[in-house]
């Protein structure tokens, strides 16, 4: 089984209730959909098919072990087994996980910067208002 939002926009809606792994700390299954850059966003060792999520937790691809490794008749019968198959190149996965982690870190840093700026601006506004009140109080 291999469903993508581009090829099966209607069928894939059946899987839209599936949410990605709640916490990034727990890691991701990160099994790659063959021939794409999509990685499974469910928690490691999940049951059922692999699911990739895009923006706003939207399900963009659903596939099982048969679409992860080479396609053969024997594999399709065992489709949906609990144990996710790992692609043979572990190095690729490790690199993809590192890239993912780096992207998350960069996003978090950017986010913290914005929060800091917001707090700074609010403090400035408070300071100005405080002084304006003092000046008005003096007069
Ligand atoms: Zn998975």
Q: What's the CA-to-centroid distance between 115 and ligand 1, angstroms? A: 34
Say whether 41 sits in a helix, a strand or coil: coil
| Residue 80 predicted with pLDDT over 60 | no
pLDDT tens track for 81-119: 566 666 566 677 888 888 888 888 888 878 888 888 899
> What's the pLDDT band for 49 if we cut at 50, 70, 90?
very high
Q: pTM score, two decimals?
A: 0.48
φ/ψ (deg, to 5) at 43: -70, 150
pLDDT tens track for 13-47: 999 999 999 866 778 999 999 888 899 999 998 99
Residues around ion ligand 1, judged by CB within 5 A, are 29, 31, 40, 42, 50, 84
Cα gap 14→47, rounded to integer Å: 17
| Residue 71 predicted with pLDDT over 90 | no
Cα dihedral sign, 17-18-24-26: positive
């Amino acid at each position: 089984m291999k469903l993508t939002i581009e090829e099966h926009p209607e069928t894939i809606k059946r899987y839209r209730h599936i949410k990605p792994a709640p916490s990034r700390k727990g890691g991701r299954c990160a099994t790659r959909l063959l021939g794409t850059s999509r990685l499974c966003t469910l928690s490691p060792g999940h049951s059922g098919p692999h699911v990739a999520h895009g923006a706003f937790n939207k399900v963009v691809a659903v596939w099982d072990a048969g679409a992860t490794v080479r396609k053969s008749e024997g594999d399709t019968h065992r489709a949906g087994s609990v144990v996710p198959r790992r692609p043979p190149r572990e190095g690729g996965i490790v690199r993809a996980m590192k890239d993912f982690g780096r992207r998350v870190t960069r996003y978090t840093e950017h986010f913290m910067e914005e929060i800091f700026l917001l707090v700074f601006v609010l403090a400035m506004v408070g300071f100005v208002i405080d002084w304006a009140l003092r000046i008005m109080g003096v007069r």
